[in-house]
Amino acid sequence: MKNECNIIKDILPLYAEKMVSEDTVDFIEEHLKNCPACSSDYQSMQKATNFSAERKEINEEAIVKVIKKLRKKLIKRICVATISICLAVLAVVVSLQVFPVYRVYQRKWDDSFTTEQRWMLAYIGTPGDRKIAIDILNMASLTAFSDTTHTYEENLKLYGELGQYAWDKHYFEEGYEQQAFYETHSLELLSAHIDKEHGYMFVKYSQQAIGENGETVSGAWDIVSLWEIEKTADGNWNVIKITEHC
pLDDT at residue 55 in the model: 60
Q: What are the pLDDT digits (tens) for 143-159? A: 999 999 999 999 999 99
Helix or strand holding residue 200 (H, E): strand 198-210
Rounded CA-CA distance 152/159 in Å is: 11
Residue 9, pLDDT above cutoff 90: no
Q: In 3D, which of 41, 45, 51 has the Cα closest to residue 16?
A: 45
Q: Provide the CATH topology of domain 115-244.
A: Nuclear Transport Factor 2; Chain: A, (3.10.450)
Identify residue 24 by its one-letter amino acid code. T
Average pLDDT of the chain to the nearest whole number:
86
Q: In angstroms, how far apart are the furthest CA atoms of the chain?
A: 134
pLDDT at residue 16 in the model: 73
β-bridge partners, 189: 203
β-bridge partners, 237: 231
Domain borders along the chain are 2-69, 115-244
Q: What are the pLDDT digits (tens) for 176-214? A: 888 999 999 999 999 999 999 999 999 999 999 999 899
3-state SS, residue 239:
strand
What proportion of the chain, given as a percentage, has pLDDT over 70? 91
pLDDT grade for 162, boundaries at 50, 70 and 90: very high
Residue 222, pLDDT above cutoff 70: yes
Please give the angle made by the CA atoms of 188, 221 and 144, to the nearest 5 degrees.
Answer: 65
At 139, phi and psi to the nearest 5?
-60, -45
Residue 54, pLDDT above cutoff 60: no
3-state SS, residue 244:
strand
